[in-house]
Amino acid sequence: MSSTQQRTTQAAGFRKTITWFFIIVGTLYLVYSSHLILNNDRRCLTTEENLEHLTNLSTSIQLNEQDSYLESPPLVLSQKSQRYNTELKHIVFGIAASADLWQKRKEYVKLWWRPKQTRGIVWMDRQVGNRSNEGLPQIRISADTSRFKYSNKKGHRSALRISRVYDVYGDLLGLLAAHPVAPLASLHHIDVVQPIFPGMSRARALQHLFNNPSAMTRIGTGPSPSRGAMLFKSGGGVVSPRELETPARTFLNWYRKADYTAYTFNTRPVTKHPCMKPFVFYMSTSKYDRARKQAIGVYTRRKSPSPYCRWKMASPERIDSVVVLKRPDTLRWLKLFLQSPRRDCCRVLPTNKASTMYLWVGNCRDGEISEFQRP
């Protein structure tokens, strides 16, 4: 067959295909149009009718869900899924210690460890002797850490086992006197710092502190109208002026050659002028008055020789003691998580004793910074 005849046959086939395509499309169009003409009496739903239909449908679905919920058995929470408040029994303490220093440091652990109540383990670098009647936690030997990378040339490899603490030397007064709103969780390396209370051994000073442990979280600010001085209270340590909220550098960096810029918090230098030094009040006694449902703490001023200073107000040397009253706040820890933490407000109470100041420390009221009145 010649090429001319092939092209003629292909063109005829293509025209036949196009013809049948238009015939089919035209037939479908006629059928659809006749269907619309024959059923033109059907009325479209209005907007209101559409809304009513959707409302009825939604109600029907809700009823079906309620029926299925009522028919299903009630959900019973297992004993393990129920939530409880965190208590001491829920905490496990991991204590890192050195065998060379354990004989001293175990005396600090005895101050707060409660046999059969507290849980934890002391991790040692080697085995030490321990009497069973001492009431101390279980001792275990820490595993080898040689496979872990440690690149700090100034540090010790044992630091791999602990983290997120900072250590200092010297006097902790600057830190405790400027206690932040965050609660103090722990103190480390007691053997390289001075006793937190003067005239006591380190163990005795800690025992004195534990007589009022909850006070470490109580911070208050308030004015003294009669004396013109701003007061600051850190319940477990000292009472000092408010401008001392920034820690004074009474302590040294763990690395002796590092200066104060190595800290992750702001500090201020210790004043050298004798008349600019603060009057420090240390906790003397504390008790809980069950009848009045309030805690009472007595703070006495540490008396030391001081030069004659000219004051533009009543001399602070007249105040020998500060009595702090406070009702315990059972929701304090919960507020630290649900609200922005803040210091308490203190109110200076009237007194006839010129040498004693009475303070009421409590939650700040709405819009209150400080107030001078009875609680």
Q: What is the pLDDT of residues 9-31, one digit of tens each?
A: 666 777 778 888 888 888 887 77
- The pLDDT of residue 81: 54
Same-domain status, 101 and 219: no
Query: Are 319 and 301 a contacting pair, CB within 8 Å?
Result: yes
Same-domain status, 123 and 218: no
Same-domain status, 96 and 219: no
Query: Are 140 and 122 a contacting pair, CB within 8 Å?
Result: yes
Least confident of 104-108, 129-133, 351-355: 129-133
Round to whole Å and give the CA distance between 150 and 159.
9
**Average pLDDT of the residues in 345-356:** 85
Round to whole Å and give the CA distance between 275 and 95.
43
End-to-end CA distance of the chain, in Å?
Answer: 119
Same-domain status, 238 and 350: yes
- The pLDDT of residue 306: 77
- The total number of structural domains in the chain stands at 2
Least confident of 3-12, 45-54, 104-113, 159-168: 45-54
pTM of the predicted structure, to 2 decimals: 0.63
Structure letter (DSSP) for residue 301: E
Round to whole Å and give the CA distance between 230 and 101.
42
User: Which of these three, 133, 163, 193, is where a domain ends?
Assistant: 163
Taking all residues of the chain, what is their mean pLDDT, rounded to a whole number?
73
Confidence band of 32 (pLDDT split at 50, 70, 90): confident
Instruction: Tell whether 188 is covered by a domain.
Output: no
Q: Percentage of residues in the chain with pLDDT exceeding 90?
A: 3
3 state SS of 124: strand
Q: Left (φ > 0), alpha (ψ -120 to 50) or beta: where does 16 sit?
A: alpha
Would you say residue 90 has pLDDT above 50?
A: yes
Same-domain status, 241 and 328: yes
For residue 303, count other CB atoms closer than 10 A to its CB: 9
Instruction: Tell whether 175 is covered by a domain.
Output: no
Same-domain status, 140 and 220: no
Same-domain status, 109 and 235: no
**Average pLDDT of the residues in 66-74:** 46
Q: What pLDDT digit, counting tens, does each position of 308-328 carry?
A: 888 887 888 888 999 988 887
Would you say residue 63 has pLDDT above 80?
A: no
Q: Give residue 111's domain range.
A: 88-145+156-163
Round to whole Å and give the CA distance between 167 and 193.
10
- The pLDDT of residue 120: 94
Q: Helices (H), strands (E): how many in the chain?
A: 6, 13
Q: What pLDDT digit, counting tens, does each position of 196-227 carry?
A: 888 899 889 888 888 765 554 344 445 444 44
CA-wise closest residue to 268 among 307, 240, 304: 240
What CATH number does residue 217 fall under? Answer: 2.70.130
**Average pLDDT of the residues in 115-127:** 90
User: Which of these three, 130, 163, 196, is where a domain ends?
Assistant: 163
- The pLDDT of residue 119: 93
